[in-house]
Amino acid sequence: MVYKSSVGSRIFDAVNIGFMLLLVIVTVYPLLNVIAVSLSHSDYISLGKVTWFPRGFNTKGYGIIFDKPMLYISYRNTVLYAAAGTLLTLFLTSLMAYPLTISKFQLKNGITVFLAITMFFSGGMIPTYLIIKQLHMLNTFWVMVVPGCISAYNVIIFRTFFQNISSELRESAYIDGANDLVVLIRIYLPLSKALLATFALFTVVAHWNVWFNALIYLKDEHRYPLQMFLRSIIFTQQEGQSSQVKDMIQNRQINPKNIQMAAIVITMAPILCIYPFVQKYFVKGVMVGSIKG
Tens place of pLDDT per residue across the chain (293 aa): 555 677 788 888 889 999 999 998 898 888 899 999 888 888 888 888 888 888 888 888 888 888 888 889 999 999 999 999 999 999 999 999 999 888 888 888 888 888 888 888 877 888 889 999 999 999 999 999 998 888 888 999 899 888 888 888 888 888 888 888 888 888 888 888 888 888 888 899 889 988 899 999 998 888 999 888 888 887 765 545 666 666 666 666 777 788 888 888 888 888 888 777 766 666 655 555 444 44
pLDDT score, position 73: 92
Identify whether 264 is part of a domain: yes
Q: Model pTM?
A: 0.82
Query: Comparing C-alpha atoms, which of 272, 277, 223 is closest to residue 32?
Result: 272
Identify whether 30 is part of a domain: no
Identify whether 279 is part of a domain: yes
Q: Which residue range forms the structural domain that includes residue 112? A: 60-286
138/143 Cα distance (integer angstroms): 6
Percent helix, strand and coil across the chain, each to the nearest 5 = 75, 0, 25
Identify whether 221 is part of a domain: yes
Identify whether 251 is part of a domain: yes
Identify whether 51 is part of a domain: no
Domain at 185, CATH number: 1.10.3720.10
Instruction: Indicate the Cα dihedral angle 118, 123, 129, 133, nearest 10°.
Output: -80
pLDDT score, position 244: 65
pLDDT score, position 245: 67
Identify whether 14 is part of a domain: no
Amino acid at residue number 64: I
SS3 state at 57: coil
The total number of structural domains in the chain stands at 1
Amino acid at residue number 42: S
Identify whether 184 is part of a domain: yes
Containing H/E element for 118? helix 108-118
pLDDT score, position 86: 93
Amino acid at residue number 235: F
